[in-house]
Amino acid sequence: MSPPLLLLQDITLTLGGAPLLDKAGFGVAAGERICLVGRNGSGKSTLLRIAAGELQADDGTRFLQPGTTVRYLPQEPDLSGFATALDYVRAGMGPDDPAHRAAMLLGELGLTGAETPASLSGGEARRCALARALAPEPDLLLLDEPTNHLDMPTIEWLERELLSLSSAMVIISHDRRLLETLSRTVVWLDRGTTRRLEQGFARFEAWREEVLEQEIRDAHKLDRQIAREEDWMRYGVTARRKRNVRRVGELAALRQARREAVRAPIGVKMQASEDTLSGKLVATAEQVCRSYGARRIVDRLDLRVLRGDRLGIVGANGAGKSTLLRLLTGQDQPDSGEIRIGTSLSTVTLDQQRRTLDPARTLADTLTGGGGDMVQVGSEKRHVIGYMKDFLFRPEQARTPVGMLSGGERGRLMLACALARPSNLLVLDEPTNDLDLETLDLLQDMLDDYSGTVLLVSHDRDFLDRVATSVLVAEGDGRWVEYAGGYSDMLAQRRGMAPPGRDGQPAKRPERSPEKGAAKGPARKLSYKDQLALDRLPGQIAALEADITRLRAVLSDAGLYARDPQAFTDATTKLDRAETELTAAEERWLELEMLREALGSS
130 and 234 share one domain:
no
- Tell whether the model's pLDDT for residue 421 goes beyond 50: yes
Under 8 Å CB-to-CB from 143, ≥6 apart: which residues? 73, 133, 169, 170, 171, 172, 173
- Examine the fold and report which residue of 163, 180, 206 is the final residue of a domain before the chain moves on: 206
CATH number at residue 559: 1.10.287.380
CATH number at residue 33: 3.40.50.300
What pLDDT score was predicted for residue 600?
65
310 and 368 share one domain:
no
CA 184/CA 201 separation, integer angstroms: 7
537 and 406 share one domain:
no
338 and 475 share one domain:
yes
Higher pLDDT, 45 or 558: 45
Q: Is residue 28 part of a domain?
A: yes
DSSP percent split of the chain into helix, strand, coil, nearest 5: 45, 20, 35
- Tell whether the model's pLDDT for residue 264 goes beyond 50: no
Residue environment code for 528-541, b if the CB has 16+ CB neighbours within 10 A, otherwise e: eebeebbeebeebb
- Tell whether the model's pLDDT for residue 239 goes beyond 50: no
Least confidently predicted of 99-113, 156-170, 555-569: 555-569
Mean of the pLDDT values across residues 484-513? 60
pLDDT band at 564 (very low <50, low <70, confident <90, very high): confident
What pLDDT score was predicted for residue 403?
84
Supply the range of the domain harboring residue 371: 353-421
**Strongest mean pLDDT among 93-97, 302-306, 314-318, 573-577:** 302-306
The answer to whether the CB of 125 falls within 8 A of the CB of 119 is no
Query: What is the bridge-based pairing of β-strands 310-314 and 470-476?
Result: parallel
416-to-1, 382, 556 alpha-carbon distances in Å: 47, 12, 27
